[in-house]
Amino acid sequence: MAHHREQKGFALVAALLANLILLAVGIVALNLSTGDIRFSMRSVGDKKAVNAAEAGLHWLTVNFNPADLASVTVTNQQVDIGGDPNTQYTIQEVGDPPAGSGPAQLPLPGFSIGGSQTWGQARYRAVVTGRNTAYNSTMTIEAGLGHGPIEMGTMSR
């Protein structure tokens, strides 16, 4: 079988090109699969951060004391002390609602006894942040709290 000079080495070049194409397909497949894993891990971290923020909000509603707002400020409290030490919440900025967001007190219909005595609900604002340090994820919830009934009237006793 006679070979022409132009055909020498063509099989080697074709095999190298086929290997390069297969390598590119493998790299794309690997990149897509690791992207799914990263997305899944981020989703798990976000869910843990949301759960931590909700746990902090629940703790705040149970332990809220308008007479001592500093007592409900918590920093890096673990959600599950025996389980995941990386999931924590922080409660900060508990105080009056921001200016321009409405009155500091709201009247409660049906609680007025008569005369100038009016009862209502005091409004407060809190910022609760949940985080998971293992996944580097954070969720912040700004919550409005109401406390009452409180006397709103201007009548002195």
pLDDT in tens, 46-68: 999 999 999 999 999 999 988 88
More confident residue, 109 or 129: 129
In a domain, 3, yes or no: no
In a domain, 1, yes or no: no
**107 preceded by cis ω (within 30°)?**
no
In a domain, 157, yes or no: no
Chain mean pLDDT for the chain:
85
In a domain, 42, yes or no: yes
In a domain, 41, yes or no: yes
How many domains are there within the chain?
A: 1
Whole-angstrom Cα distance, residue 93 to residue 32?
Answer: 42
* Cα angle, residue 131 at apex, residues 46 and 69 outer, rounded to 5°: 130
3-state DSSP of 64-97: CCCCCHHHHCEEEEECCCCCCCCEEEEEEEEECC
pTM above 0.75, yes or no: no
Q: State which residues form the domain around 104.
A: 8-151
Whole-angstrom Cα distance, residue 77 to residue 88?
Answer: 5
The sign of the CA dihedral 23, 29, 35, 38 is negative
In a domain, 156, yes or no: no
pLDDT in tens, 6-30: 666 788 888 999 999 999 999 998 8
Whole-angstrom Cα distance, residue 123 to residue 62?
Answer: 16
In a domain, 2, yes or no: no
In a domain, 89, yes or no: yes
Backbone angles phi, psi at 125, to 5 degrees: -130, 140
CB under 8 Å to 150, separation ≥6 — which residues? 105, 119, 120, 121, 122
CB under 8 Å to 81, separation ≥6 — which residues? none
